[in-house]
Chain A
Amino acid sequence: MYQAFVGLEIHVQLLTKSKVFCGCRAAFGDEPNTNVCPVCMGYPGVLPTLNRQAIVQAYLVARALDCELSESAVFERKNYFYPDLPKNYQISQLGSPVGRNGRVDLDLGGSRRRVPIREVHLEEDAGKMIHAGDVSLLDYNRAGTPLLEIVTEPVLERGEEAELFLQYFRRMVRYLGVCDGNMEEGSLRCDANVSVNRPGKGLGSKVEIKNMNSSRFVKKALAFEIARQSGLLDRGAPVAQETRLWNENRDLTEAMRSKEEADDYRYFPEPDLPPFKPDAAFLLDVEKGLVELPSARRERLVAEYGLGPDQVDFIIDEKSRADFFERTVALGADPLAAASWLGSDVKRLLNREGVELAESPLTPERLAGLLVLLASGRIHGKIAKQVLEVLFAEGKDPETIIRERAWEQLIDAGAIAKLVDEAIDANEKAAAQIRAGDEKPVGFLVGEIMKATSGRAEPQLVRSVLKERLAKSR
């Protein structure tokens, strides 16, 4: 048996309005080379100016990861030549990053694993180069957009743990509103370092894995890589220190470059940017951005509302969903009912319509209205589902819908009695059977009444009135 050590390097594209060192829009789906200026194009003579929103978000993530926040965050130049890097150096951080020595307490389904965070640092992204036939094309829209790099200590042991960590992390940055967390589109990117060794022997040769653009691929790539390295050790073969790429089509990692070819980045302090020293006003802004994080919210929702494990996981997965849930409950809905509806019927309709909860016609007010109607017996379950359908189709309040369609449940005893009498008259044989003590046809008669009212009659009431009537006349 071997022990695996996995560390993650996560890159987060921050959701800032402008780029990290100039005023250009930080949007890179646009027409190539439209969100550029002399600064992010690396023209001669220009200088970087630090975007406050970016540095606030960087400290916010560091804070959320329980890091020691730097009192003097130093930017450095990382020197390497690549056509998509306009200055041929990247402004990054090395010696004194924004945050250090943080931690995440990861819930591994029962057990807990503390994942120490080595550092959080802010840097600029590069542009994009594509090769089309015999030309190379460059788009610098992404050049200079803010990127946050988070490095964990190598304490994860399996692909599943890395996947859980990533899911936790993704949820966290989405809660903080600093990243949309989209791994497929690359706004959240993850590289891993893996080393395998005999237990107690410390770290083995370090292999870096890149190109894993979903948390599932991270799990699969790590599982493959751990098995590959274990196999090498079994055969007594050395594990080469190298960088490997995950090939999602072939489900394996492939060697990209060996350590000997690794670059010397010749880091040195960026003379154009003095060290960033957060003052009290800045730290206050950071604290203001620090929302209740998913793990804390999970615990609170369980304690406050008694949600089950699956329910609570679903509710807290998105901050907007958890906010929606709590707002619905605050408006008078039963918490368990709200959670259950959100996790079943609402989810089904959202999937069918292909919309997000926030963009759908459903609001906490409408869901609470629906659930209160249901709880008070003014409509029953089947009608409630229909109301939800209409609500999605027409965007109206539940009250309006049941009024317009006369869907309110019949709970008036007089009206029900009249219906019961009509049913008895129309079904003499069944009525006689019941009167004779045979309860079997009760269900049939109730069904007839429900049919006659398109399901609006309150079934329990119908049943009891029916029994009462037939008993009386006996």
Chain B
Amino acid sequence: MNHSARWSNVLLSPDRTESYLDYARGWEKRIGSFLELSPPVPASPPRGDLAGIPFAVKDNIAVEGFNLTCGSKMLAGLKSPYTATAVRRLQEAGALVVGKTNLDEFGMGSSTDTSALARTSNPWDTSLVAGGSSGGSAAAVAAGIVPFALGSDTGGSIRQPAAFCGIYGLKPTYGAVSRYGLVAYASSLEGIGVVAESVGFARRVFEVIRGIDPLDHSSVEYLPSGQTPPRPRLGVVRGLAGLSGEIERAYRRAADLARGLGMEVSEVDLKTFDYVVPAYYTIATAEASANLARFNGIRYGLRPEGTENPEQLVKGARNRGFGDEVKLRILLGTYVLRSGFQDRYYVRAQKIRTAIRNDLQALFGAVDLLLLPVFPTAAFKHGEAGLTPFQQKLADRFTVTANLAGIPALSFPMGSEAGAPLGLQLLAPAFEEERLFRAAESFAEAVPLEHPPGYSEEWRS
């Protein structure tokens, strides 16, 4: 990897760390991608495949010695007593954690604006959101502060901010990467993945973090078919509605480009497409209602003063610790799991989920890869000028399919329009990440990576 040589030296001496921090802080004033930035001073030169390479970690992934806030007042100031398996594997390969990045509170959002702790903006244009929920990780990579960062993807939370910031974002096969150390939002849908400045980095990081973990019983042995078709059959979806002009153009351009790159392009139908968002939000919020129950202010986290009894303490902590979006999703999840209502909501959503899996399995008999938009629009504006929370949820329709089906997806840059980057995604059958990397590398040859204004590599040389 041609760029690693330059990245592997950036923290090797106090002088270099100083220049590193100068560059990072310059960006941070504008984009606020980090909640905690504290590059280590290696006692001895790191060793391993990723020796000395700095990386950032979304603040819902545990790193001992760093905070683990999840962007929530509930956990502000919580130090993690342990390290996530994926992070530990990267550290064992010599990579260095420089800090923790901002996110939508507990990963619930598509803009990073639901973070209760900091505001993150898009490096391309600070009036735009960086996307979410892994917005901090994507912004930090796009700004060139780190070559890659860990994020988590429950319904698009890696791919969408990667697309909004013009970089690569991999959501791996469910179970391929240990979830140990990822603060759970929707356990059966999410996983740790990577945002990266290049396909090469995404691949190398994925190779390090994947594999079965005894601490995560849902992790699996990584067993790819080993077959990557030289002329992959690419499915493009017929009749996608509701796309913005620039995304529709990018989608068509990519399909045309694919033909030019020697792929066999065919139009396909996604029969279950209309059901993915309701099914996703039913399952995700149901799991969230249980996953977030542990935050009660007793053992750690926000604890209100002067409460009379444990019940008051718990109610006070949850009332003050959680933001509106989090409360909304907990309420929704509690509702769909009520006895007498499970059949109507949770059980039905699981049936839809099975139908989606079957739909995709059938589809992957006819094509090797599926091309989809990541989001109906490019990065939107902060606040009221942007999308409402409801519009944002509807817009998840392109990303949640991969989570419901447990299959890998990679978002990749497709140029920019009007100062905002555009991104699309490729989906593959489970364990076929290598197909995604190969195809994205082909696209990269035709569409050179663009950087936001202010991006620089000079400080690294």
Contact = CB atoms under 8 A, between A and B. Distances in A.
Nearest to B300: A43
Nearest to A79: B290
Contacts of B188: 271
A271 B287 contact: yes
Contacts, number: 102
A136 interface: yes
A49 interface: yes
A42 B300 CA distance: 10
Interface stretch (A83-91, A286-294, A384-392, A430-438): A83-91
Given A83-B296, A136-B309, A266-B339, A274 B218 contact: yes
Contact of B187 (A49, A138, A272): A272
Interface stretch (B124-132, B140-148, B177-185, B321-329): B177-185
A47 B217 contact: yes
A305 B293 CA distance: 60
A339 to B, nearest CB: 50
A45 B218 contact: no
Contacts of B184: 44-45, 272
Given A43-B300, A49-B215, A271-B187, A88 B84 contact: no
Interface residues of B, number: 44
Contacts of A83: 296, 298, 310, 314
A48 B217 contact: yes
Contact of B81 (A38, A86, A87, A272): A38
Interface in A22-59: 38, 41-50
B183 A44 contact: yes
B170 interface: no
A77 interface: yes
Interface string A448-462: 000000000000000
Contact of A49 (B214, B286, B290, B314): B214
Contact of A45 (B84, B339, B342, B346): B84
A274 B174 CA distance: 13
Contacts of B84: 45
A164 B339 CA distance: 36
B215 A47 contact: yes
Contacts of B179: 47
A310 B181 CA distance: 58
A129 interface: yes
**Secondary structure of the A side of the interface?**
loop
A268 B286 contact: yes
A45 B86 CA distance: 12
B62 A77 contact: no
Contacts of B290: 77, 79, 87-89, 266, 268
A83 B179 CA distance: 26
B70 A79 contact: no
Interface string A256-289: 0000000011101001111000000000000000
A274 B217 contact: yes
A44 B184 CA distance: 7
Interface string B176-217: 000111111001100000000000000000000000001111
Nearest to B69: A44
Interface string A91-108: 000000000000000000
Interface in B146-190: 179-184, 187-188
Contacts of B309: 136
Interface centre among B70, B298, B300 (most CB of A within 10 A): B298
A81 interface: yes
Contacts of A43: 81-82, 299-300
Interface centre among B68, B181, B338 (most CB of A within 10 A): B181
B185 to A, nearest CB: 10
B181 A45 contact: yes
B310 A129 contact: yes
A410 to B, nearest CB: 71
Interface in B285-305: 286-287, 289-290, 293-296, 298-300
A46 to B, nearest CB: 7
Contact of A44 (B70, B287, B310): B70
Nearest to B318: A81
Nearest to A77: B290
Given A81-B314, A266-B338, A50 B293 contact: no
A264 B340 CA distance: 10
B266 interface: no
Interface in B206-244: 214-218
- Interface size, A (range): 20 to 34
A264 to B, nearest CB: 5
B75 interface: yes
Contacts of A274: 217-218
Contact of B337 (A42, A48, A79): A79
B61 interface: yes
A41 B337 contact: no
Given A47-B180, A49-B217, A273-B217, A88 B68 contact: no
Interface in A131-167: 136, 138, 140
A154 B75 CA distance: 47
Interface string B8-23: 0000000000000000
Contacts of B342: 266, 268
Given A38-B82, A77-B290, A268-B337, A45 B217 contact: no
Nearest to B346: A268
B334 interface: yes
A48 to B, nearest CB: 7
Contacts of B334: 266
B68 to A, nearest CB: 6
A42 B78 CA distance: 14
A77 B187 CA distance: 12
Contacts of B346: 268
Given A271-B187, A271-B188, A44 B75 contact: yes
B218 A271 contact: yes
Contacts of B314: 81, 83
B70 to A, nearest CB: 7
Contacts of A88: 290, 293-294, 296
Contacts of A77: 290
B217 A50 contact: yes
A45 B61 CA distance: 7
A81 B60 CA distance: 23
Contacts of A41: 299
Contact of A46 (B180, B217, B296, B300): B180
Nearest to B68: A44
A137 to B, nearest CB: 10
A44 B218 CA distance: 17
Contacts of A81: 293, 296, 314
Given A81-B314, A83-B298, A264 B339 contact: yes
Nearest to B286: A268
A47 B310 contact: no
Interface string B333-360: 0100111001000100000000000000
A131 to B, nearest CB: 9
Contacts of A48: 217
Interface in A411-425: none
Contacts of B182: 45
Contact of B310 (A136, A265, A268, A271): A136
Given A45-B80, A45-B181, 12 more contacts: A38-B81, A38-B82, A42-B294, A42-B299, A44-B183, A45-B61, A45-B62, A79-B290, A89-B293, A264-B339, A272-B187, A272-B216
- 4 nearest CB pairs, A to B: A88-B293, A271-B187, A271-B188, A266-B337
10 contacts: A38-B81, A44-B60, A44-B70, A46-B180, A47-B218, A86-B299, A138-B298, A271-B187, A272-B184, A272-B218
Interface of A: 38, 41-50, 77, 79, 81, 83, 86-89, 129, 136, 138, 140, 264-266, 268, 271-274
